Structure 1
Amino acid sequence: MRALVKAKPEPGLWLEDVPDPTPGTGEVLIEVLQTGICGTDLHIVAWDEWAQAHIPTPLVVGHEFVGRIVALGAGVDDLTVGDLVGGEGHLVCGRCRNCMAGRRHLCARTEGVGVTRAGAFADYLTLPATNVWKHRPDIDLDVATIFDPFGNAVHTALTFPVLGEDVLITGAGPIGIMAAAVVRHAGARYVVITDVNDYRLELASKVGVTVAANTGRTTLARVHQDLGMKEGFDIGLEMSGNSQALPAMVEAMAHGGRIAVLGLPSGDISIDWSRVVLHMLTIKGIYGRQMFETWYAMSVLVQEGLDITPVITHRFRAEEYEQAFRTVREGLCGKVILDWT
């Protein structure tokens, strides 16, 4: 089968012919239809410090996908050949304290599809049946393709109640934009998203944000004034990893404000901890999705009319992967999809 392989411990990615996988006991074999490109994949291609420390080679990469089940391993009796499916890319141990307590997203011994085991940038993928999410047959294939990053957005956006609240989102990448759509759908009053990328701010405007602000040309104080807000933001969603974003967010929060942090910084960040204490702020780190409460929430949101399609901007054939990755690196895009059919 075709697969995008991190074949060597150096920058690059290679389209190779590799053996078809076989589903083991409790696994399914999935024919991949479409995949999405993630920031993690860019790190792997670049072979940066993080990738060198975490990625074994050779490895088939990729973890955002939609496909159809084509074979069942022994012991799988609740899925059917032909089912349209996605999958949770975090494989948990099942036996640690958090797993046994039902908090599988907090497993400390997690393996990752396309990170520590064979991934989805291929014609076929095997996955434990317990990690498979069965989609409604009428779901938009593009939307189903990006359920993994959509889950990051939903998990972050709904960590704290947002009904009637004023929400600040720093980082208008695809996940930040989807998070904006979620909090607007969930009843937030003002939804402000910030970035320095005008292309992505324009995408954010298409999902109904109140203000899409370029912080290179305006300030949060000015946005605050223009909206007539009497206090700071109630909820903050830090999605960028930018070293200036979290400190600015802390300054912009109301007393008792709550911040969910998904953006992964590349270095140390200094924030005003006295303000955190005196303003009684809550800061919570977010990683991945809740298994499988977030997946259920995603399906309900889409079924009830939440439209995340504006975030999908480019599509390429799998063989055009180099152009697709170049498009993502250039930043003038939302989600980029590879077609494997």
Structure 2
Amino acid sequence: MKALVKDKPEAGLRLVDVPEPTPGPGEVLIKVLRTGICGTDLHIRKFDDWARNTLKLPLIVGHEFSGEVVGTGPGVENVAVGDLVSGEGHIVCGRCRNCMAGRRHLCRNTVGLGVHRDGAFAEYVTLPAENAWVHRVPVDPDVAAIFDPFGNAVHTALSFPLVGEDVLITGAGPIGLMAAAVATHVGARNVVITDVSDERLDLAGKLGVSLALNVARDSIADGMRRLDMREGFDVGLEMSGNPRAMRDMIASMTHGGKIAMLGLPAEEFAVDWATIVTSMITIKGIYGREMFETWYNMSVLLEKGLDLTPVITDRFPYDEFDAAFDTAASGRTGKVLLDWSGGARPERARNEPTEAEAAATMNRSCA
């Protein structure tokens, strides 16, 4: 099968032929339909310090995907051939204190798909059956492919109550955009999102935010005045990892405000701890998704009409991966997908749909 592999300690990825995997006990074999390019994948392609110190080569990369189950190993009961699935890319030990207490997202022994074991940028991937989220209600394979980052957005956005609250989101990358969509959908009063990319802020406008603010031109205080806000934001969702964005967010919170921080800084930086203390601000770190409450929340949000399609801006056949990665790295787009369902051919639209794709299309047309 074809797969995108990091096989040399240098920048770049290679599309090569590798053996098709075989599902072991408790695992499923999945024919990959779509994959999403994540910031982690960009780090791996660049082979920066983090990647150099984390990866063991050779490695098939990628962890955001949707696909059709085509085989099961011994002991699999709740996932069947033909199911359309997304993958929870954090594979936990099941034995540590947090796993035993049902807090699997806090497992200290987590293995990352496409980081610590072969991933989903391939025609087929194996995964523990318990990590395969079966879509019981029809979902477009494009949207199903971004359930992993959508889960990050939902986990962050729903960390604190949002109904009637004023919400500030710093960073209009794909996850920030999805968090904005969630905050608007569940009933926040004002949703303000900031970035320095007009292209991404335009996408935010399509998701119904109250204000998309380019902080290269306007301050958050300017935005608050335009919305007639007087006491600061109730909830902050920090999605950028940018030191200035975090400091501006802290300065813009109301007393007793709450911040959920998903953005991962490249290095340590200073913040105004005096304001955090005297304003009694709560800061919560977010990593990944709660397994599997967040996944349930995601499915229900889509069932109730949340539309993520504006977040997906670019689609490429998998053999055009270099162009896809360059597009994702530009910082001006939404989510970038690779299509693995029709072979390495740009004319893929003329191919017959897979069983899972056909079922999803049929059910959507009947809904």
Same-fold call, TM cutoff 0.5: yes
Residue aligning to 2:37: 37
Asked whether 1:211 is paired with 2:211, we answer: yes
Asked whether 1:93 is paired with 2:99, we answer: no
Taking structure 1 as reference, are residues 10 and 304 closer, same or farther at Cα in structure 2, changes over 3 Å only? Answer: same
Contact 1:84 1:137 in 2 (8 A): no
In structure 1, how many angstroms separate the alpha carbons of the residues matched to 2:246 and 2:302?
30
Structure 2 unaligned runs (5+)?
342-367
Q: 1:129-278 residue pairs with structure 2 within 5 A?
A: 129-136=129-136, 138-278=138-278
- Once the two structures are TM-superposed, the CA of residue 55 in structure 1 deviates from its matched residue by 1.1
Residue aligning to 1:77: 77
- Once the two structures are TM-superposed, the CA of residue 332 in structure 1 deviates from its matched residue by 2.4
In structure 1, how many angstroms separate the alpha carbons of the residues matched to 2:51 and 2:89?
17
Q: Alpha carbon RMSD of aligned pairs, Å? A: 0.7
In structure 1, how many angstroms separate the alpha carbons of the residues matched to 2:206 and 2:330?
21
Q: 1:283-294 residue pairs with structure 2 within 5 A?
A: 283-294=283-294
SS of aligned partner of 1:16: strand
In structure 1, how many angstroms separate the alpha carbons of the residues matched to 2:109 and 2:9?
24
Contact 2:199 2:333 in 1 (8 A): yes
State the AA in 2 paired with 1:231.
Answer: E
Residue aligning to 1:108: 108
Contact 2:234 2:258 in 1 (8 A): yes
State the AA in 1 paired with 2:124.
Answer: Y
- Once the two structures are TM-superposed, the CA of residue 261 in structure 1 deviates from its matched residue by 0.3
Contact 1:2 1:18 in 2 (8 A): yes
State the AA in 1 paired with 2:92.
Answer: V
Asked whether 1:11 is paired with 2:11, we answer: yes
Question: How does the TM-score come out when normalised to structure 2?
Answer: 0.92
In structure 2, how many angstroms separate the alpha carbons of the residues matched to 1:255 and 1:246?
16
In structure 1, how many angstroms separate the alpha carbons of the residues matched to 2:54 and 2:205?
36
Residue aligning to 1:323: 323
SS of aligned partner of 2:172: coil
- Once the two structures are TM-superposed, the CA of residue 137 in structure 1 deviates from its matched residue by 5.4
State the AA in 2 paired with 1:280.
Answer: M
- Once the two structures are TM-superposed, the CA of residue 7 in structure 1 deviates from its matched residue by 0.8
SS of aligned partner of 1:202: helix
- Once the two structures are TM-superposed, the CA of residue 224 in structure 1 deviates from its matched residue by 1.1
- Once the two structures are TM-superposed, the CA of residue 51 in structure 1 deviates from its matched residue by 0.5
In structure 2, how many angstroms separate the alpha carbons of the residues matched to 1:45 and 1:321?
11
State the AA in 2 paired with 1:52.
Answer: R
In structure 1, how many angstroms separate the alpha carbons of the residues matched to 2:181 and 2:332?
20
Choose 197-206 or 128-137, whichever is displaced more. 128-137
State the AA in 2 paired with 1:49.
Answer: D
Structure 1 unaligned runs (5+)?
none
In structure 1, how many angstroms separate the alpha carbons of the residues matched to 2:125 and 2:206?
34
- Once the two structures are TM-superposed, the CA of residue 226 in structure 1 deviates from its matched residue by 1.2
- Once the two structures are TM-superposed, the CA of residue 138 in structure 1 deviates from its matched residue by 2.1
Question: How does the TM-score come out when normalised to structure 1?
Answer: 0.99
Could you tell me the percent identity over the aligned residues? 65
In structure 1, how many angstroms separate the alpha carbons of the residues matched to 2:78 and 2:143?
24
In structure 2, how many angstroms separate the alpha carbons of the residues matched to 1:149 and 1:77?
27
SS of aligned partner of 1:164: coil
In structure 2, how many angstroms separate the alpha carbons of the residues matched to 1:107 and 1:195?
33
Asked whether 1:124 is paired with 2:124, we answer: yes
